[in-house]
Structure 1
Amino acid sequence: MEAIIASAIAVLGTLLGSGLTLAFQRRTTDRTHAFTRDERLRQERLDAYATYAGTLLNYRRSLIHLWFCLHEQPPPEDPEAVRPRTYDLRSEAQEALFRVQMLTDDETLSRTAEDVLAAVTELPRTDSRPELDTRRRETRDAISALVRAAKRHL
């Protein structure tokens, strides 16, 4: 009888040990998967934020060049040659914005990113050089502020 009780205790101990090992392995696996998922999301956000900021800068530069083509005499380049590049860059900026908006959980950051694109788009609608210079400074600062805000979400 003692042999049966000892065997039963041994079997229960083995089952308990196996169960605890399984629970710890499952928890470790879940943590590893969560860490991997979080790191992948962080990398995707970093890529999206950096791409958006770079695209905004290129779009901004193109719009400023378009302004000079429209307002300087003689124009440095035919405005009709510059417009298609500007439209392409605007499309790239909008695509990058959509990617940022899909990856961020922060509604404020999403709205700020959208507002910066709108401010940059308004650049060529200025009538004077001093107004253009002011908006250039404002959009440059807005892009920098957006990058700093995005950095907090990485």
Structure 2
Amino acid sequence: MNAIWAALIGVGGTVLGSTITFFVQRSVADEAARRGEVERARQERLDAYVAFLSIVLRFRGTEIDRWHCEHEDPDADSTRTARAEARTARAEAIAALSRVLLLAGGDELQRNATDCVDAVGRIHTADTAEERDERITHANFRIRWLSEAAGRDIGASRVELPQLGFS
């Protein structure tokens, strides 16, 4: 009889140990999957922010070129080319903005991303060089704010951003 009890206790202990091991491993696997999903989403937002900021900076350059061409010779071929490049850059910026709007980690970040595109898009409509410079400064402020907010959203450590110039 003692042998039967010993066997039952052994089998029961094995089943209990296996059950506990199963639940612990499942918990560990679930946590690893959750962390993987969080990291994948963070990386996707990072990619969207980097692509957006890169495209917005290119758009800003085309808007500045467009302004110069339109004020030097509005009917020149170079002006038509500058307009076309600016329109293409704007379309790319809006496409990248759509991705940011889908992935961004907050309403304020989404609003500022939209404001970046709008601020850059107003550069070419300035009447004077002083007004253009003010619009560039405003666009730079929006771009800087967005890059810092995006860094906070993805949990990046603080890095010093270079000053954004006029060209």
What range is the shorter-chain TM-score in? over 0.9
Query: Could you tell me which residue of structure 2 aligns to residue 49 of structure 1?
Result: 49
Percent identical residues: 37
Query: Could you tell me which residue of structure 1 aligns to residue 37 of structure 2?
Result: 37
After TM superposition, the runs of 4+ consecutive aligned structure 1 residues lying more than 3 A away are: 73-77
**1:151 Cα deviation (Å)?**
0.2
Query: Could you tell me which residue of structure 2 aligns to residue 102 of structure 1?
Result: 102
Q: Distance in 2 between matches of 1:11 and 1:31?
A: 30
2:116 and 2:143 in contact (8 A); partners too: yes
Over the aligned positions, Cα root-mean-square deviation in angstroms equals 1.7
Q: Distance in 1 between matches of 2:77 and 2:71?
A: 11
Per the alignment, in what secondary structure is the counterpart of residue 105 of structure 1? coil
Aligned ranges 1:80-95 → 2 under 5 Å? 80-95=80-95
Query: Could you tell me which residue of structure 2 aligns to residue 131 of structure 1?
Result: 131
Give deviations 1:9-68, integer Å, cap 9, x for gaps: 211111110011111111111111122222222221111111111100100110111011
Greater CA drift, 84-93 or 72-81: 72-81
Select the structure with the greater relative contact order (CA < 8 A; seq sep ≥ 6).
Answer: 1
1:68 and 1:76 in contact (8 A); partners too: no
1:69 and 1:75 in contact (8 A); partners too: no
1:52 and 1:100 in contact (8 A); partners too: yes
**1:124 Cα deviation (Å)?**
1.1
Unaligned residue ranges in structure 2 (runs of 5+): 155-167
Query: Could you tell me which residue of structure 2 aligns to residue 147 of structure 1?
Result: 147
Gap change, CA 1:73 and 1:82, over 3 Å in 2 = closer
The letter of the residue matching 2:106 is D
Per the alignment, in what secondary structure is the counterpart of residue 153 of structure 2? coil
The letter of the residue matching 1:103 is L
